[in-house]
Each structure stands twice: as structure tokens, then as C-alpha cells.
Structure 1
């Protein structure tokens, strides 16, 4: 309560608006009424509602057909054949099938929401949200009302066809994963064995180390101290793309580095794997297979740009940092009678990621 001698209280009591001052009187805010509800054709005509329902589940069935066609196209036009026409048809018809499947689902869902689901407007007053029993009961009733308005529970054909279309739309993607795991065949008996495939490269005894991609053989005398050269087997340069050039190169690519011989730390069994300070390691990272191509000349470290694994070139390319689980495979090398660098033999272990099961 204000004190009777309070000057502020006296000022409030004595205040009167001046004659020229307009005083606005604010009326209470009223909630605007909803506009009159306009019924749709499907609300007025039962036959129109039946047609709308028929259209929706037909679109869902059409989506299922598109998914089935995408799977069939994957089998009818196998990209494993290597023929450019099969690759084009594979991409075209699988894409058309998946596009039809997803587009039909989208159109059906939109038509369902516009023509079948109840569109009556309603007002939902705001209230304090508290976890009372009445609140939970109201939530349950809201789900029941939504189910009734959408017709999800009553319109069995629409519901079942939608579920089937959604499930079928996933099937082409699952089937396409098959291409990531080639299967054995009479022509390729080890196509499904990644360990065997990663053990078999084009490197063999006497294979000359050649520049990538020219295929020009490399003389040991031509390598300067600190140089890092990307090399492939000489035989690979003459291989055509149709004969698997890219597949073989992906496994056989090597980084050749020249250091001072005294900088190398070599185990007894690997003393003859290098030549006069020249060492060769697989470029395929042992983490997930990225190309290890960044060489730090001062530290003698190899860096994988994908996930920053680092390998020590001076010490059998052992892992210094990063997620790689094992050193880079080393290619044993020497020189031939003409002074060209050659492989003593192929890799003694599989190249590439360590997550493959190994012997």
C-alpha cells in the first residue's frame, strides 16, 4: 500500500489528460471465426471417393511394378559383361524403374492427402502441457481421430498397397549391393574371394618398374635422392581397359622412393628387398584403400589424404599415426643386367584394406 504522503501517488491521482491529447481505448482481442467449410467432390459424391481410393492404391501397385522392373533390369543388362551397351541399358532401365517407384509413391501420397484424408478445419485451444491421465487419454483419442480421418485403418487396400510399395521401393537398392560382391563363375573361379584377388597382382619376378601412366621403364641411376615416383608394372601399360586395366592398376600401383641407404631400418629377411636406398611400397592404404601419395621428403613419411594415416618409409612403412591397422606391403626390388629396376617377386601379402579376412 502506498504511503499517504507519497508524492508519486499524489501525482497519479491528480493527473488528467490535456484537451488536445487523444486516448486510445483498446477492445479485447477476439479469435477470428473459421471460414465456411467447402466440401470437396469426394466428400459430396461417394463414387468420386471410390475413384480416388482406386487411384491411390493403383499408384502404389504401379510403384511396386517399378521396383520389380528395376530388379529385373539389373539382371537383364549385367554390367559385368563389360559391353558399353549393357552398361548404358543397365543405368537407364534401373533408373527408370526406381524413378517410377518413388514418383508413384509421391503422387499417391499427395492424392491421398488431398482427396481422401479429412480436410475439416478445427480449432485446438492452447493449454498447459502436463503429464496427467487426462492428457494421455486425449493423446490416445487424437491418434484414434487421426486414424479415422485418414482412413488408414478402414481403407485396407490403400493401407496395404502403400506398405507394399514402400517395402518394394527398398528392394532395388538392396539388389544393387550385389554388384559390390562379385560371385564366382567358371570363367572367374575366385571372383568372390577378395583375399585371393588382393593377393594376385601383375607384379612377378622380373617385372620392370615403369612410370605411371606412360609405361616407360625406370633405371636405378635415373632416380635422384629424395625423389618419389608413381610406378606400375611395365606389362600393365599395354593392357586395354576392356582387359581390366583399371582393376589391375588399382592393385599394382606402387610408390618408389630413394633415400640414403644408411637411413633405412631393415630386418634381416628384407635386407635384399631394397636397392641402394631405393624402396617400393604399395600405394593402396591399408585402412580403406585410398591412394597414399603424399611424401614428406624431410621426415620420410607417407601420408594418406583420406584419413591422415602416416607411414614411415625408412622402417618398412610401419604405421605412425591414423586408423591404418598395418604397414604398407613392400615390393621386393633389384636391378637387371641393363640397370632397370625390376621386381624380385610379387607382394608377399594382400594389398589394400585390412578389414578383409586374410590367410
Structure 2
């Protein structure tokens, strides 16, 4: 180990250069991981917070279910009676509005029954229960766009006026802040025709996007109900794929991460392969002086571990600093658990790259220093 430290000091320029590469690779992996998590949260955080185990869609909606699926009260009643589960309707659609103070915002309208388990809790103002039909509970993200409790939001092209009565935690759907509205109001937003006179209650279809099931029935019961009622039941986690862009974003970001994991061992392995070739005379001398192959292996692995582990730790700090720098300006989230797991993976694959050099270390020939090649 002493000799390994001496070599690190003597060739500190080379090791610092290699360590800098490891720092940048580790930081890039951490940053990509942060964007992967952040983009995922920005797409499905509202779905993740739903207190439901499963979601039921119409069977004709095979993709983008929240936008394409429509269920009616008859189906909801049949599902409730057939499964005995605690369920409630849910409507989801994206729209746009303008407040009475001139703030223009995009919102993901989540239509919920104010008396159901989907009704959001509020940290400011009051909830939907007892507040009336033309009310709205906004995500805290809308405050960043200039919306305040007490404002009136007018849905563009429809003229539907909604009073902001409360604010709940930050949640979004498809990168759009969520606004919770009563189910009847969501139906007006979803089914009203722009420019047409205000529709009467009877002219608005009593339909919604899905059924949120809190106490899931058995698999056999769900399958039987799906077959009989022409529905499709998905776990909440599987339903994340119904959010717009979620699958494509995950595939893209995860592919970038995988390629970075492949680059790390190749870069580290190439460096130590060259370093080992340059050290062949020194390795042969150590063998001639009686050093065992095991000691030489430990000598090499210690150097590799020092470069990779210290470089990865510095990369983790750099990735965390980037997260603090961007703040909430972009969808970036890098929890300590995710950062630790990512950096451990980078260190592991980086050390795996040194395996390519170990054979040449063990084959160092002591006779080289005793003149066998003369």
C-alpha cells in the first residue's frame, strides 16, 4: 500500500487527469438521474399521490387512457356492486385559463367528488367539500405562475369561471400543474363546446375518465368485471404509462444513463491498461524482489479504488450542487437515496473496468529484471 501511495504521488498529474474524468462521468450520471426523477415527478406526481390502488378505464382506450377513456355512471355502479370495492370517479384533462389579475396558466383539471377519498387536503384556504360547484383547489405550483387563493380563473374559450378556494401540495400531470375541481365542473370543462351558449346540466354527459379503486378486488373479480363491462383495470403504477410523454421520457433518460454506465468502465479500464503497460518494469522488479502476485493485485486495485471512489464522491458533490443551483426552475429531483445508489453503481462499474488490466499485472515476469531478455 505504501508503494501504491508513492506511485499516486509520483504520477499525480496522470491520476488527477483520470480522476477528473471520473468526476465528470459521475456528475453527468448523477445529473441525468436527477433529471430522470424530476421529469418523472413532473409528469405523474399527481397520479402518484392518488389514494388508490387501481384505476379502471374503458377497454377501447389502449394508450393515453386519461385522454381517451370514457366511463359512465352505469359502469361505475356495476363495478361497485360487482366488486364491493371502495371506488369513485375521476376525470382528467388539460386546459388553460386566465385569472382576474391577468395571469395565464395551463392546468391539468382533475375532476373529483368533493365527498370522496380523492378530494385533496389543503394547506391554505379550504377544500372542495361544501365550497360549491364553481370552485377550484390549486396545486402550490400555480402560485409560481401568479395564481393566489381568492382569485377567479376563467377557462379559455369556454368562459367557465372558477373561484380558487384553496391550495394543496405541489403536484402535476404531464408537466402541467394540477387544479382539483368538482366532478360536475370537470364535465363542463371536458364536454362543453367552445363558443356555444352555456350548456344546461342535462346536456353535459355524466361521464369521466376513470374509476379510482381504493380497496382493490381480487384479480379474478377484476378480470371478470373487465370482461363483462368492457373495462381495463390497471394498478396505479402501471397507469403511470397513461400519462402523456411518461414512457418516452423514461426510455430516453434511462438509455442515456445506461450508455454512461458503459462508458465509465471503458474509460477507467483504458487508463489503467496503459498505466499497467508503462509500469511493467516496476512490476517485474517487485516480482524479482519477492512480491507475490496477490500483493501486486492489491497494489493495483488500491490505486484504482482511490481514483474511482474519490472521483465518484467528488462527482456526487458536483451533481448535488447542480441540483441546488437549478432549484425549482427545472424538473430536477435527486434524493439522497437515489444519489447514493447511482454513485455506488458508477463506482462499481468503474472498478469493473480495472479487471481488464489485472491479467497483465499477474503476468509480470521477474526474469525481465534478471536479464532473461538479453
Q: TM-score, normalised by structure 2?
A: 0.25
Q: TM-score, normalised by structure 1?
A: 0.26
| Bigger relative contact order, structure 1 or 2 (CA pairs below 8 A, ≥6 apart) | 2
